[in-house]
Amino acid sequence: MCLGVPGKVIAVKDDWIAEVDISGVVIDVGLQFTPEAKVGDYVLVHTGYAMHVMDEAEAMETLKLLEEMGAAAELPDGQIS
Amino acid sequence: MVKYLSEFRNPELAAGILRRLEKVSTRPVSFMEVCGTHTVSISKNGLRQAVPDNIRLLSGPGCPVCVTANADIDRMIAIAAQPDVILTTFGDMIKVPGSYSSLAKEKAAGSDIRIVYSTRDAVKLAQDNPDKRVVFYGVGFETTTPTVAMSILDARQKNVANYSVLSVHKVVPPAMKALLDLGEVTLDGFICPGHVSVVIGTRPYEFIPKDYGIPCVVTGFEPLDILEGVLMLVEQVERGEAKVENAYKRLVTTDGNKIAMETIHRVFEPGDADWRGIGVIPGSGLNIRQEFADFDAARLFAGVEVPPVKEHKGCRCGEVLRGVIYPYDCGLFGKACVPEHPIGPCMVSGEGSCAAYYRYDEKPRTGA
């Protein structure tokens, strides 16, 4: 039930509503909880509301960390970076 | 461009984390996820089997639909049968059986029950049907609750007097505490719910390492998120540490979404809630404040008669929800109880442990 999906804000309309593109489907999403969201941002959408604006820098950092982790696992036994 | 989904499904990166897990993990551990979306993703991606043999991934009370007590479903069914009522609910709840019936059966029998995608749709329905009483069945954890609170604020602002909410909302951290206090399962770590944490932040879990010495990691729902979370838990265990860590930084902060939290507290106040399989947990529920009594279906329909509660014979959903048994250990699982003919809520709900294990999981190597 707590399913949330990332979508891209493509337009901000009146009354706290934005149009958000979720994998090609555009839906109306409430921005009451993320008033800072602007066109071009990715937001987490849950039951028709944006619950958070994605932190792209953190997403990239996590991916970089995971890549390094996998590479580190290739090291000989006992060497955990 | 980052799209935040496919990048976190990369099989090569997953293989790298699994290799690292093999290397780091030296002792048997049991970790519990307390989110139905995690349960489904772990099962669907075969992660229970993919992790090293000494890591057990258990499922806890993470599906709001599943932990809704029969008494609360019976009450909703009784309200749906009242004159001029349109009952609105998220789709998850519709097939879940109460003591004698389900909303789906009542709908077939003539009650006006409608599935909505958002609470906004329920308020709109009330505006469009001024001669009806539109009740929203408020089920869900902290991810969902702000949107329900917002619908009440919205209805008040727009003078939609025929809209109300029956709140059986629950909050997650007290349930984690209740499980630990029951002491039925030995846990070495919690995989904390990602989207609940978007709202509440990571701080509310801090009592778990502090008071119980158990590590917690908040993580997301893609395979890499979950594997990273498992690895961080293993590394804490191996280092002899216990703290709250965040593997979902693209969405989760220490303090969560302050506006969403303020919205919850504006409309709701803490109360007790009855959890299927666990019982009443003090402070784990959310009741509508007196100030919003006009929108509280529990008050508006207080006189409605509800039949005595009856539990389903042989159903072991309670033990499944507490992580005491695997779904396979229930005598009904896969025989009398299958998704097409479910007996307990954990087989009905798409995010129920029994449904997820039935659809995707092989039988585990060792029993619970």
- Tell me the DSSP string of B24-93: H--S-EEEEE--HHHHHHHHHTTHHHHS-TTEEEEE-S--HHHHB-HHHHHHHHHHHTSTTEEEEE-GGG
Contact A73 B23 (CB under 8 A): yes
Distance of residue B63 Cα from the nearest chain A Cα, in angstroms: 7
Average pLDDT over residues B43-49: 93
* Domains, chain A, with CATH or none: 5-73 (2.30.30.140)
Does B250 score more than 70 pLDDT? yes
pLDDT of residue A75: 56
**Quick one: B95 and B191 in the same domain?**
no
Distance of CA B80 to the CA centre of its chain: 23
Question: Are B158 and B284 within one domain?
Answer: yes
- Find the farthest-apart pair of alpha carbons in chain B and give their distance in angstroms, rounded: 66
Q: Is any Cβ of chain B less than 8 angstroms from the Cβ of A11?
A: no
Looking at the structure, do residues B29 and B163 belong to the same domain, yes or no?
no
> Do B163 and B267 share a domain, yes or no?
yes
Q: Which of A67-76, B78-87, B256-265, B331-340 has the lowest mean pLDDT?
A: A67-76
Closest CA to A44 of A15, A13, A14, A3: A3
Whether B304 maps to a domain, the answer reads: no
The DSSP 8-state label assigned to residue B99 in this structure reads S
Structure confidence at residue A69 (pLDDT): 74
> How many domains, chain B?
2
Please check whether residue B140 lies inside any domain of the structure: yes
* From A47-51, A77-81, B260-264, B328-332, the region with the lowest mean pLDDT: A77-81
DSSP B333: B
**For residue B156, is pLDDT > 80?**
yes
Q: Tell whether B310 is covered by a domain.
A: no
Are B143 and B260 in the same domain?
A: yes
In the predicted model, is pLDDT for residue B125 greater than 90?
yes
Query: Could you tell me if residue B358 is inside a domain?
Result: no
CA distance A26 to A10: 9
Do B232 and B156 fall within a single domain? no
Match 């008071």 to its residue by tokens. Answer: B211
- Element of type H or E holding B353: helix B353-360
Looking at the domain assignment, is residue B28 inside a domain?
A: yes
| CATH code (residue B156) | 3.40.50.11740
Question: Could you tell me if B2 lies within 8 Å of chain A, comparing CB atoms?
Answer: yes
Beta-carbon separation of B195 and A67 below 8 A? no
> What predicted TM-score, i.e. pTM, was given to this entire model?
0.93
Nearest to B353 by CA among B10, B35, B3: B35
- Answer yes or no: do B90 and B128 share one domain: yes
Residue with tokens 């969560």: B256
Query: Which of A61-75, B24-38, B327-341 is least confident?
Result: A61-75
Rounded to 10°, the helix B11-24/B223-239 angle is: 10
State the first-to-last Cα distance of chain B, in angstroms, to the nearest integer: 43
d(CA B185, CA A4): 29
User: Is pLDDT at B220 greater than 90 in this prediction?
Assistant: yes
Nearest to A1 among B7, B144, B198 (CB): B144
The residue-averaged pLDDT of B172-190 equals 96
B311 belongs to a structural domain: no
Please tell me whether residues B166 and B283 are part of one structural domain.
Answer: yes
Query: Higher pLDDT residue, B365 or B94?
Result: B94
Residue written as token pair 């993919």 = B50
Q: What CATH number is attached to the domain comprising B242?
A: 3.40.50.11750
Answer yes or no: do B127 and B83 share one domain. Answer: yes
Summarised one tens digit per residue, pLDDT across range B55-103 is 999 999 999 999 999 999 999 999 999 999 999 999 889 988 899 999 9
Does A21 reach chain B within 8 Å, measured CB to CB? no
What is B265-285 written as a DSSP string?
HHHEEEEEEEETTTEEEEEEE
A54/B234 Cα distance (integer angstroms): 27
Of residues B244, B62, B331, B234, the one with CA closest to residue A73: B234
Domain extent for B85: 70-171+256-299
Domain boundary among B265, B280, B299: B299
Co-location of B84 and B41 in the same domain: no
- Under the banding of pLDDT at 50, 70 and 90, the label for residue B4 is confident
Question: Does residue B335 fall inside a structural domain?
Answer: no
A39 touching B (Cβ < 8 Å): no
Q: Which residues of A touch B252 (CB under 8 A)?
A: 52
How far is B259 from B277, CA to CA, in rounded Å?
A: 33
**Count of A–B CB contacts within 8 Å?**
145
* pLDDT beyond 70 at A72: no
Token pair for B252: 């989760």
- Is pLDDT at B188 greater than 70 in this prediction? yes
- Supply the pLDDT for residue B132: 98
Contact B259 A67 (CB under 8 A): no
Contact B107, B128 (CB under 8 A): no
Confidence (pLDDT) at B133: 98
B196 lies in the same domain as B228: yes
Residue B198 belongs to some domain of the structure = yes
Buried b (16+ CB within 10 A) or exposed e, B165-195: bbbbbbbbbbbbbbbbeeeebebbbbbbbbb
Angle at B117 between CA B116 and CA B121, to 5 degrees: 60
How high is the pLDDT of residue A3?
84
Asked if the C-beta of B172 comes within 8 angstroms of chain A's C-beta atoms, the answer is no
Copy the structure tokens of residue A61.
């950092």
A12 has which bridge partners?
A: A18
**Closest alpha carbon within chain B to A80:** B24
Q: Are residues B87 and B147 part of one domain?
A: yes
Q: At what angle do helices B223-239 and A56-72 cross, to 10 degrees?
A: 60
